[in-house]
């Protein structure tokens, strides 16, 4: 029987860096999308894949997968950035690839002192992944000093390519996932791992996925409860959709025991869950599948503590919808139980939406992305302030041309949806 999820760990990040459950103005209509910052693709960063965190002063923190430093070992290695309430962007750290890490696809975690923690997909000192490295876990202090806490080695005993953000327990241990590694199955690359990183830098693989009928290839944020149980999703694996699987929701206990709570079947319950999970006070888990469902456009789902899955919403048929489709980024929840998220496609311009899903299953499009204005390709979870304003990132485009690109092919944006 899976443990009950407690929201005191995993959702509320130190220093007020929130949010999964937030206050919202009930009944208020959204005022629309506002562009807060457009990345230029040079030293300021490019392509923000991950979501944001926010401190009590209203500063936003995030990562970009590219840009940052022309002296990088690769075309661009990415950044950790801060965006002030006046929309001034400051790059806190520019990655070099080796030995410090490169291409952070994941978002950040913060402690009470304002130290930021995250993962990079490549870089570090691991050699089994070729010259690019297998990825890292890093810390960036408020002054911008970066420290590599762990370099992944790849291979059968370790993971490689960590895409997901980290979560932290009350003892200061960090937990995350790697997309590959850990097992010789999955075409020899490994099906991915759930790992623990102790405060002394000791890394432990809690579980190595095996793929069908087991789960495989996790890249979304984990949820941790008071008992130390971890919950997440995998893109592949499970018992649905033939040999590769449609993905799964899993639990890993502190002793490394894994349980598949739900295996997706594509129709009607969804396929390819790339997002992480959130939990309500009763331990019910919520997330999104990018595709599948009754209409093929993806779903918002709930998995109860006993593993029962309920589809909260199925997005309409791709290319034939105004409600959006391909909801890759997951959802957040307000105190009234409304869920909020983004889609990569659909909407008024077929360039994605910001949506709200009421507890009764009614979906509302709060606004539609226009690539050349606010950016598009939002594929990370939103956050919210206590007034109910939403903040997020769009990975691509925006009003500023990237180096070597043509307008309006921008480098991504940070946006706000005002309540």
**Residue 412 structure tokens:** 């991504």
Lowest mean pLDDT among 4-13, 287-296, 317-326: 4-13
Whether the Cβ atoms of residue 365 and residue 347 lie closer than 8 Å to each other: yes
pLDDT > 70? residue 405:
no
Could you tell me which residue, 401 or 75, shows the higher pLDDT?
401
**DSSP category for residue 245:** -
* DSSP SS3 for 83: strand
Note the pLDDT tens digit of each residue in 72-85: 777 789 999 999 99
What are the structural domains of the chain? Answer: 14-418 (2.130.10.10)
Q: Exposed, middle or buried: residue 360 (CB in 10 Å: 0-12, 13-18, 19+)?
A: exposed
Q: Rounded to the nearest 5 degrees, what angle is found at the Cα of 123, between the Cα atoms of 122 and 125?
A: 130
**DSSP category for residue 131:** G
pLDDT number for residue 184:
63
* DSSP SS3 for 113: coil
Percentage of residues in the chain with pLDDT exceeding 70? Answer: 90
Query: What is the C-alpha to C-alpha distance for residues 287 and 295, in angstroms, rounded to an integer?
Result: 17
Q: Rounded to the nearest 5 degrees, what angle is found at the Cα of 283, between the Cα atoms of 216 and 11?
A: 80
Note the pLDDT tens digit of each residue in 291-323: 999 999 999 999 998 899 999 999 998 887 789
Length of the chain: 419
pLDDT > 50? residue 267:
yes
Query: What is the C-alpha to C-alpha distance for residues 275 and 393, in angstroms, rounded to an integer?
Result: 15
- How many C-beta neighbours within 10 Å does residue 16 have? 17
pLDDT number for residue 11:
29
* DSSP SS3 for 130: helix
Classify residue 100 as left (phi > 0), alpha (psi -120 to 50) or beta: alpha
Note the pLDDT tens digit of each residue in 114-142: 999 999 999 998 877 877 899 999 999 99
Whether the Cβ atoms of residue 398 and residue 47 lie closer than 8 Å to each other: no
- Tell me what the mean pLDDT of segment 18-33 comes to: 55
Note the pLDDT tens digit of each residue in 373-400: 999 999 999 999 999 999 999 999 999 8
- Tell me what the mean pLDDT of segment 328-332 comes to: 97
Could you tell me which residue, 189 or 299, shows the higher pLDDT?
299
């Amino acid at each position: 029987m899976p443990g009950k999820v407690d929201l005191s760990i995993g959702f509320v990040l130190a220093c007020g860096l929130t949010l999964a459950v937030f206050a919202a103005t009930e009944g208020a209509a959204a005022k629309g999308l506002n562009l807060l910052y457009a990345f230029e693709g040079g030293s300021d960063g490019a392509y923000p894949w991950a979501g944001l965190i926010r401190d009590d002063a209203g500063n936003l923190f995030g990562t970009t997968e590219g840009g940052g430093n022309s002296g990088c070992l690769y075309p661009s290695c990415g950044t950790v950035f801060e965006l002030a309430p006046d929309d001034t962007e400051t790059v806190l750290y520019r990655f070099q690839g080796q030995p410090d890490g490169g291409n952070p696809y994941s978002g950040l975690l913060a402690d009470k002192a304002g130290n930021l923690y995250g993962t990079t997909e490549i870089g570090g000192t691991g050699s089994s992944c070729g010259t690019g490295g297998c990825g890292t876990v890093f810390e960036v202090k408020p002054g911008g000093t970066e420290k590599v806490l762990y370099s992944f080695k790849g291979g059968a005993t370790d993971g490689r390519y960590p895409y997901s953000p980290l979560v932290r327990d009350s003892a200061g241990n960090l937990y995350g996932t790697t997309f590959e590694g850990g097992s010789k199955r999955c075409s020899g690359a490994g099906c991915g791992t759930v790992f623990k990183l102790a405060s002394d830098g000791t890394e432990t693989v809690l579980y190595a996925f095996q793929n069908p009928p087991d789960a495989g290839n996790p890249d979304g944020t984990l949820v941790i409860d008071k008992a130390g149980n971890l919950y997440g999703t995998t893109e592949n694996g499970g018992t649905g959709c033939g040999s590769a699987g449609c993905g799964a929701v899993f639990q890993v206990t502190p002793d490394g025991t894994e349980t598949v709570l739900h295996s997706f079947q594509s129709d009607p319950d969804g396929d390819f869950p790339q997002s992480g999970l959130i939990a309500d006070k009763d331990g019910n888990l919520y997330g999104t599948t990018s595709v599948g469902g009754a209409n093929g456009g993806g779903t918002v789902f709930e998995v109860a503590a006993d593993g029962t899955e309920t589809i909260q919403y199925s997005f309409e048929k791709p290319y034939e919808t105004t409600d959006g489709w391909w909801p890759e980024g997951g959802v957040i929840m307000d105190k009234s139980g409304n869920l909020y998220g983004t889609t990569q496609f659909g909407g008024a311009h077929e360039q994605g939406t910001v949506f709200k899903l009421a507890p009764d299953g009614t979906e509302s499009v709060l606004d539609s992305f226009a690539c050349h204005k606010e950016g598009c390709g939002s594929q990370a979870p939103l956050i919210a302030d206590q007034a109910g304003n939403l903040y997020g990132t769009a990975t691509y485009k925006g009003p500023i041309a990237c180096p070597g690109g043509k307008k309006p092919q921008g480098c991504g944006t940070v946006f706000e949806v005002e309540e």
